[in-house]
Amino acid sequence: MGIFVGEAVPKRAVCSEGAWIDDLLLAGDGRTTVLHLSGPVGRGELRRLVATEQERLRAAGLAAGGTLAVRVPPSLACIVAMLAGWRTGAQVALLDHRLTPYEVGKAIARLTPQLVVEPVGDVTGRLRGHFDLATRVTPLHGGRPAATPHALLQLSSGSTGPSKVIGRTVGSLLAELDRYARLDGFPRRGERTVVLASVVHVLGLVGGLLHGLAAGSEVVLPGTQTVDGILRAVAAGDAPTTLLGVPSQAALLTAARTPPRLPQLRRMIVGGELVRADVWERFTRTYRADLGAMYGMTEAGVIATDLTGAHRPGLTPAPGMSVRVEDGQILLGLPASPYVGPADPARFVDGWLRTKDAGSLDEDTGLLTVHGRLDSQVSVGGLKVDLAEVEEVLGALPGVADAVVVQGTGIEAFVTVRDREVFDGLAAALAARLAPYKRPRTLHALPGIPRTVTGKPVRNAEVLRAAARAAAPAGGSAPGAGGDPAHLDVDTALA
């Protein structure tokens, strides 16, 4: 395609025109299977479904330059609705179906779409990988036409604070698809991509769905997001297969007691957070497949990759992406600010987006190492502590299934452990591995770490404490994985 960030794009791709859907995503042999949910969907069938949905949206009042919100769980209906909105030339806002009615109301008030596509009836099934459902189109009072040239609006994950409205132009999406097309080892024509990441968020949407349609890699959504459901989806086809998800899903797959032999499983690629060393080791040993990593943001999509895991923890900047590190912070070169509406003016200056991610760039190899969020670096008694380091040490301890470390009144750690004995030994284990000023002052055990709808661990101290209080039995404190009360002051434990 030859389209890069910052490069002029064809006129039709500048704002809301929808020819790119036909030219890039729906063109080709109609008999070719492009999607697999409950069953195979050919390219010709997908074209017919998108055209039918487009007529329904037009009948409800959608026109080029209009605005559409899609709040539908992963499904053929969700995919068809977003493609039909773009084919019409509308600005499409994607809302995660797991948002509460209160969160949806706030999002609608911020985005002011003219129409919303949503399921008919309630949607249940927390571990479902996709749904078979009907949708309705509802015109919204007070909805407004698009005020910006963005084709896609998304909300940031909100893992560390309030969500931001992020806009992507057609040119930005095409540039990201070009980066994926130029990645050696990313799924190609004749291969399969089992997409575990949500198709309404950037990794599953662009790296999974849109890239698959553009490149001719069959996109598969598993029936369930359980270990058995994921492995069945891989085993259902003989073509080389890539899993696309987040590190917590890779960790889940390592829990399989007797995984089947899957020679077609080429690799798993994960993004969204750092991959723990023990997860990488267990996954590659269990499945004899690569576990690769990607670094990206909703604001820009894929930024850097290591698809084989050969350079851990280093990543190679994606083709066409401008990356530099200034004062320990990763900066991205973008043609315009990705934010829609009020935003911190310091985030995008002179064509560079401040990611708020800490990193380093090796001048000799060109590899980028992501060290975590800048706000994970705190001062304790005048000494610098990287909370990501503390979290990595804690998460690698035997018996610890998951861990999040934050700065509250002091360093606090929230963990999921396999039994109470593990939790009772954490203070001593950390004392042998971390200098005193780096150790958490308080440890909390939770049945599960709260996560955003994209699967990222929540790092808001108040939210985590509230989860600990909610999990605590009456008159006690937070339960561990086995339901035992578990709250520990480290200084007292070591006294």
The DSSP code sequence of 398-411 is TTEEEEEEEESSSE
- Summarised one tens digit per residue, pLDDT across range 297-313 is 999 999 999 999 999 99
Question: Measured on CA atoms in the order 299, 300, 304, 308, is the torsion positive or negative?
Answer: positive
Instruction: Tell me the pLDDT band of 382, cut-offs 50, 70 and 90.
Output: low
Torsion of CA 80, 92, 112, 117, to 10 degrees: 0
- Summarised one tens digit per residue, pLDDT across range 239-298 is 999 999 999 899 899 987 788 899 999 999 999 888 888 889 999 999 999 999 999 999
pLDDT score of 330 more than 60: yes
The stretch 471-491 carries a mean pLDDT of 49
Please, how many CA atoms are within 13 Å of residue 367, restricted to the half-sphere of its CB? Answer: 12
Per-residue pLDDT at 186: 97
Instruction: Tell me the pLDDT band of 436, cut-offs 50, 70 and 90.
Output: confident
Per-residue pLDDT at 483: 40
Tokens (6 digits) for 55: 């007529």
Percent over 70 (pLDDT), the chain = 89
- Summarised one tens digit per residue, pLDDT across range 140-156 is 999 999 999 999 999 87
If you average pLDDT over every residue of the chain, what do you get? 87
* Beta pairing, strands 91-94 & 265-270: unpaired
> According to the per-residue pLDDT averaged within each range, which of 28-37, 104-113, 436-445 is highest?
28-37
Spans of all domains in the chain: 11-370, 381-494
Higher pLDDT: 15 or 136? It is 136
pLDDT score of 482 more than 60: no
pLDDT score of 343 more than 90: no
Percent over 90 (pLDDT), the chain = 62
Instruction: Tell me the pLDDT band of 162, cut-offs 50, 70 and 90.
Output: low
Which range among 5-14, 18-27, 129-138, 371-380 shows the weakest confidence by mean pLDDT? Answer: 5-14
**Considering only CA atoms, which of 23, 71, 79 is closest in space to residue 50?**
79
In sequence order, the β-bridge partners of residue 304 are 295, 317
Per-residue pLDDT at 473: 60
Instruction: Tell me the pLDDT band of 475, cut-offs 50, 70 and 90.
Output: very low
Per-residue pLDDT at 458: 86
The stretch 122-140 carries a mean pLDDT of 91
Burial profile 216-240: b = 16 or more Cβ within 10 angstroms, e = fewer: bbbbbbbbbbebeebbebbeebeeb
Tokens (6 digits) for 412: 């606090």
pLDDT score of 174 more than 60: yes
Q: Which CATH number fits domain 11-370: 1.20.140.10, 3.40.50.12780, 3.40.50.300, 3.90.1150.10?
A: 3.40.50.12780
Higher pLDDT: 483 or 154? It is 154
pLDDT score of 321 more than 80: yes
Which range among 88-92, 121-125, 264-268 shows the weakest confidence by mean pLDDT? Answer: 121-125
Using CA atoms, how far apart are residues 296 and 318, in angstroms rounded to an integer?
Answer: 10
Per-residue pLDDT at 388: 81
pLDDT score of 182 more than 90: yes
Helix (H) or strand (E) holding 393: helix 387-395
The answer as to CATH 2.60.40.10 being correct for domain 381-494 is no
Per-residue pLDDT at 185: 93
Instruction: Tell me the pLDDT band of 391, cut-offs 50, 70 and 90.
Output: confident
Q: Cα dist. 290→95, 191, 211 in Å?
A: 32, 16, 20
**Considering only CA atoms, which of 420, 448, 430, 446 is closest in space to residue 390?**
430
Tokens (6 digits) for 418: 């396999």
